[in-house]
Structure 1
Amino acid sequence: MTEQNTNSGFDFNQPTIISLLYLGSFVTGFSGLVGIVLAHVWQSDNEESWAASHFTYLIRTFWFGFIASIIASVLMFVLIGFLLFPIIAIWVGVRSVMSLVKAQRREPMPEPETMLF
């Protein structure tokens, strides 16, 4: 007879997978694209109430990070863009880790539409 403990081990729930894909994009460069596709697909199939806030948070993280990266690319011609890329990377990384931690506890994101953390 085995007893399943939901508090032990690593929980590969949908928001966790998306967060890991976003973080993996720092190494691969493309896994964030897989993450955003999954976020949009899974958002409509979501059955868990706590996860809905994570999908909103993670989708906004990707798109705002993507738009900021385009702006930083344009601003590289005046050298400001070189300063913006590390800031964008830190912002995306922190938001991804915050979602990952809360998803492991199956807690909703407190303010999923915020631009901050």
Structure 2
Amino acid sequence: MNQSVTNGSANTSMVNVIYVLYLLALISGVTALIGVIVAYVYKDDAPEWLRTHYELQIRTFWMGLAIGAVGAVLSWVLIGIPILIALAVWWIIRCVKGLRYVGERQPYPNHLGWGI
């Protein structure tokens, strides 16, 4: 069997697009919504190593949405500003690490965790 089909590299472009959409979401939040929908669509047909990236992207969206909502509410009392800044840093690190792992054709380690 062709190695590129075996390791799923033919399918990596959509995962990379989602990571880029997530990074663009820091400017326009709508792109994250598009990204999570695409991740849900492509996740089930992906090879196992690539599925870790889709699952990470889906979890990143939902965790980011929850933390962002808390940060937005608490920003009325200025406590939320540091939360939103930390969320943005966490979001960027997860996306950049994801792009690196995809480029190396590696699964995302601990993709079900909260960490980076």
**TM-score of the pair, normalised by structure 1:** 0.83
State the partner residue of 1:45.
45
Q: Deviations over 1:63-116 (max 9, x none)?
A: 101100000111112210112111100001100111111011111011111111
Consecutive aligned runs of 4 or more in structure 1 exceeding 6 Å deviation: none
The one-letter code matched in structure 2 to 1:103 is V
In structure 2, do the counterparts of structure 1 residues 34 and 27 end up closer, same or farther at CA, with 3 Å as the change threshold? same
- Higher Rg of the two aligned structures: 1
- Answer yes or no: is the 8 Å Cα contact 2:25–2:32 preserved in 1: yes
CA RMSD of aligned residues (A): 1.5
Tell me the number of residue pairs that the alignment of Structure 1 and Structure 2 aligns: 106
SS of 2:69's partner is helix
Q: What percentage of aligned pairs have identical amino acids?
A: 30
- Answer yes or no: is the 8 Å Cα contact 1:13–1:103 preserved in 2: no
Q: Deviations over 1:26-53 (max 9, x none)?
A: 233321111011011111232x221011
Deviates more, 1:74-83 or 1:11-20: 11-20
Give the helix-richer structure, 1 or 2. 2
